Structure 1
Amino acid sequence: MNQELLLKLSECVEFGKINLASPYPPNMKGQPGADEYTKEALEAGAQPSEILDELVAAMGKVGQKFTENKIFVPQMLLSAKAMSAAMAHLKPFFASGAVQRKGTFIIGTVFGDLHDIGKNLVAMMVEGAGWEVIDLGIDVKIEKFVEAVQQHPGAALGISALLTTTMVNIQPVIEAVKAASPDTKIIVGGAPLSAEFAASIGADAYGKTPQDDIVWLDTLIA
């Protein structure tokens, strides 16, 4: 029974079925979604860690499809929202320590930049991959990045920028963070950035897609 519920949950996340009220995808309209199936699985005795493993696997499929251009941002957002609906039921187990996260990932859009769709997508996908995510929001000042890193020792940091006029603001953030916490690993991303630019400003990695961030983060704990 649990396995059947977990399979249905996995399908809901993979195809973006958030809850019973959600009309998407059309072929699953009127059916329960990730929200209901997670609740049902827990009530049926499924272990929170089992459910998390299922979510991580489902989001892995979503990330792979996106990388291969088989789905696009709207479908990916729906999957991420379905995953978030499921994760809401697991939050008490994370708080109690019954389920362990892989680590902590801090993310924010650099100061001067108000764009958040890409940042939000990365945050949701990384959370779905089993990480605790601290989202600092948009227009994040240098001091706030430094403070967050100091409050969460051992956390990795992601910095986003969507404009050529704000991408230059990332370097002073990296310099300040590295001065305060030399061991902090930093990944950067956003439409105008490149691997070459990331290397030139002292970042440890560049993420073109959310899946890139997840793969890189997993190497930190391998």
Structure 2
Amino acid sequence: MKDFLGILTKLVLKGDHKQTVKLVREALESGLAAIDILERGLVPGVQALGDLFKDGQVYLPEVLISTRAMTYGVEELKPHLAGSDISQRGTLVLGTVEGDLHDIGKNIVGLMLTSNGFDVIDVGVNVSAAVFIDAVKNHNAHILAMSGLLTTTIPYFSVVTEALETAGVRNQVKVMIGGAPVTRKDADEIGAEGYAEDCASAVDEAVRLLKLP
């Protein structure tokens, strides 16, 4: 039997979105379960990509191409996936803070977290404290992950954490921040429990925060 899963992993790493979609269709037609195609074919490709990115062996352009292939593959699978099939490791609200319109890194983080079993609520860019708080409350989020790509928007992280305190929900959610100019010191200064140095480490940090295996 054709090694659909192994080939899919390689196609995602390669970033070949057309062949990824084609092979997903073939795998479904062969009788493979959609959840197996996702968790044993597509996800390992993204996980391997994350490791390579973390080690400096691939760079942002390659990451974008590979995540596009993953996205196309997941879209092809969606009609065949029952909601209960996908293991959920926790709910995470994700957004870029007010004053910042950058979304590439955030989108990659969202895809990687989703691929690793997290229920990601992406509230977009230029997000106010009020919107973050509403999302945390409405979705009973376990983690609030905020991104900032501009040094001028770093102070807004503390605006959000203070607003969480005022709203009485700070103790209900773990806060994680990240972005090119953001440092561990910034996280410590606002009392954030988590800090993601890059896209790949965001998944590891989310797992650590929720004490998941």
Task: State whether TM-score is above 0.5.
Answer: yes
1:206 maps to 2:195:
yes
Mean alpha-carbon deviation: is it higher for 200-209 or for 33-42? Answer: 33-42
After superposition, the C-alpha distances for 1:49-84 in whole angstroms (9 at most, x for unaligned) are 212222222111101101111110000011111111
> How far apart, in 1, do the equivalents of 2:80 and 2:93 lie?
21
Overall identity of the aligned pairs, in %: 35
Distance 1:210-1:7 versus aligned 2 partners, 3 A rule: same
Deviation >6 Å, runs of 4+: none
Matched residue, 1:215: 204
The CA RMSD measured in Å over matched residues stands at 1.7
Of residues 23, 38, 48 in structure 2, which corresponds to 1:61? Answer: 48
How many angstroms apart in 1 are the aligned matches of 2:162 and 2:133?
Answer: 10
The 3 A distance-change label for structure 1 pair 106 and 193 is same
Distance in 2, Cα, partners of 1:105 & 1:92? 23
Taking the aligned partners of 1:84 and 1:17, their CA distance within structure 2 comes to: 11
Instruction: Name the structure 1 match of 2:30.
Output: 44
Give a deviation string over 1:172-206, Cα, whole Å, max 9, x none: 11222353241211110011110011111111111
Out of 201-210 and 40-49, give the one that drifted further: 40-49
* 1:115 alignment counterpart: 102
Q: Distance in 2 between matches of 1:71 and 1:60?
A: 13
Structure 2, gaps ≥5 residues long: none
Q: TM-score, normalised by structure 1?
A: 0.87
SS at match of 1:137: strand
Name the SS for the 1:215 alignment partner.
helix
- CA distance in 1 between counterparts of 2:26 and 2:90 reads 27
More strand as a share of residues: 2
Q: Is 1:144 paired with 2:131?
A: yes
Count of matched residue positions in the alignment of Structure 1 and Structure 2? 208
Q: Match for 1:184: what amino acid?
A: V
Q: What are the equivalent positions in structure 2 for 1:179-194 lying under 5 Å apart?
A: 179-194=168-183
Q: Equivalent residue of 2:125, what SS? A: coil
Partner of 1:46: helix, strand, or coil? coil
- Give me the whole-angstrom Cα distance separating, in 2, the residues matched to 1:154 and 1:68: 30
Letter in 2 for 1:145: F
Report 1:100-111 matches (<5 A).
100-111=87-98
CA distance in 1, matches of 2:89, 2:32: 20
Task: Quote the Cα distance in structure 1 between the aligned partners of 2:88 and 2:133.
Answer: 22
- Counterpart of 1:72 in structure 2 is 59
> Cα 1:205–1:99, aligned 2, differ >3 Å: closer, same or farther?
closer
Contact 1:59-1:129 at 8 Å conserved across structures: no
1:23 corresponding residue in structure 2: none
1:142-193 CA distance string (max 9 Å, x none): 1110111111114322101111111101111122235324121111001111
Retained in 1: the 8 A contact 2:86–2:117? no
